[in-house]
Amino acid sequence: MADARLTRLLQEITAEAQLTAAYTGRAAFRPATMAALADTPRHEFVRAAEQLAAYLDMPLPIGHGQTISQPYIVALMTDLLDLPPAAKVLEVGAGSGYQAAVLSRLARQVHTIEIVPALAIACRERLARLGYANVVVHEGDGGLGLLAEAPFEGIMVTAAAPRIPPALVDQLAAGGRLVIPVGAVDAVQELVVVTKDARGATNSRTVLSVRFVPLTGQAG
Give the H or E element holding residue 88: strand 88-92
pLDDT (0 to 100) of residue 158? 97
Residue ranges of the chain with pLDDT lower than 50? 1
Catalytic residue from among 69, 96, 104, 204: 69
Listed residue (14, 65, 19) closest to 37, CA to CA: 14
Query: pLDDT tens for residues 119-164?
Result: 999 999 999 999 999 999 999 999 999 999 999 999 999 999 999 9
Homologous superfamily of domain range 2-210: Vaccinia Virus protein VP39 (3.40.50.150)
What is the pLDDT at residue 220? 59
d(C-alpha 202, C-alpha 220), whole Å: 22
Question: What pLDDT, on a 0 to 100 scale, did the predictor assign at position 2?
Answer: 64
Does pTM surpass 0.85? yes
| 204 annotated active-site | no
**Phi, psi dihedrals of residue 68, rounded to the nearest 5°:** -95, 130
pLDDT, residue 217, reads: 85
Q: Where are the domains of the chain?
A: 2-210
